[in-house]
Structure 1
Amino acid sequence: MKSTAKIFYGLTVFLFICTVVYIIGTIYVEDAGYIHGLEWAGTTGLVLAMGLTAMLGSYFHLTERRMDILPQDWEEAEVADNAGLYGFFGPSSIWPFAMSMAIALMGIAIAFMMYWLLIMGAVMLIFFGTMLNLQYGLPREKH
């Protein structure tokens, strides 16, 4: 088993232990301001997080089983062994900022229950996300 799969399997075991402790804690520990019994929101969140880490661990386990040894798994590897092409990263872009402003607009719309503003923010977010993905696919004069 490779290192990435081991990390996610370890996180799954940790979240399982946390879930058991959380369930026992919410069922048996009494609080004067709380209704006695299982607290479903936290339990559901922990179970879903445990399922996510288990799925990622099994995915990495199955994928890395078919690959050669990676520099991360080789104890005598140097930093230069992992060097290579990492891809293209644009020097600057306005679209991530525009997307965060659209998300902030949607948050304000939810806070003040303005559904028309929520829809407008969602449309803006979809447009800005599309432009982020197409910023180097469009001709320069279309930017």
Structure 2
Amino acid sequence: MRVQAFMFYGCALFFLATDIVYWLWSGDWTGTTAMALAVGLAGLIGFYIHFTIRRLENANGGPLYEDDPEGDIADAAGELGFFSPHSWWPLFVALGAAAVALGMVFGWWLVLLGACATIMATIGLVFEYYRGHFAH
């Protein structure tokens, strides 16, 4: 996965070069700022992937299976993690976030209501498997 990190670094460099050329030719601050944000976003994603890969390599004691040119598909077999098959909480988080967004249009009272709903739904999502029938 190290290749993906360098792809995002390459995107950040490309956006930086085009941002400089755009700024010199147009003098438009709006487009220049948008391109600068694209540079920062691509660099941020590349840095996160690079940092995560380094941490995973240190935990596994070597390169990842995806980075091994001699590796087989069966090398990466096994459990990948736990994924909730039936959770309704992401829907409620999205509805609360939509209420916050609509509250910015219709009134501050809906922002407060949506923020409370989003916080409660996020708590429910995080602690879903700590109580009740599905507790570990």
Secondary structure, in 3 states, of the residue corresponding to 1:136?
A: helix
CA contact (8 A) 1:4 1:60 kept: no
Q: Which residue number in structure 1 is paired with residue 132 of structure 2?
A: 139
Q: Which residue number in structure 2 is paired with residue 97 of structure 1?
A: 91
Superposed displacement of residue 56, structure 1: 2.8
Corresponding pairs, count:
132
Counterpart Cα distance in 2 of 1:64 and 1:20: 35
Counterpart Cα distance in 1 of 2:57 and 2:73: 23
Answer 1 or 2: which has greater helix percent: 2
The 3 A distance-change label for structure 1 pair 62 and 24 is: farther
Superposed displacement of residue 23, structure 1: 1.9
Counterpart Cα distance in 2 of 1:141 and 1:53: 34
Superposed displacement of residue 51, structure 1: 4.2
Superposed displacement of residue 91, structure 1: 1.5
Out of 68, 76, 84, the position equivalent to 1:82 is: 76
Q: Which residue number in structure 1 is paired with residue 119 of structure 2?
A: 126
- AA aligned to 1:125 is T
TM-score (structure 2 length as normaliser): 0.77
The 3 A distance-change label for structure 1 pair 41 and 20 is: closer
The 3 A distance-change label for structure 1 pair 84 and 101 is: same
Give per-residue Cα distances to partners, 1:97-139, cap 9 Å, x unaligned: 1111111111211122x10110110010010011011111112
Gaps of 5+ in 2: none
Higher normalized contact order (CA 8 Å, seq sep 6+, divided by chain length): 1
Give per-residue Cα distances to partners, 1:27-53, cap 9 Å, x unaligned: 1xxxxxxxxx43354144234325424
The 3 A distance-change label for structure 1 pair 25 and 65 is: farther
Superposed displacement of residue 8, structure 1: 3.0
- 1:50-61 → structure 2 map (5 Å cutoff): 50-53=42-45, 55-56=47-48, 59-60=51-52
TM-score (structure 1 length as normaliser): 0.74
Gaps of 5+ in 1: 28-36
Out of 38, 46, 58, the position equivalent to 2:29 is: 38
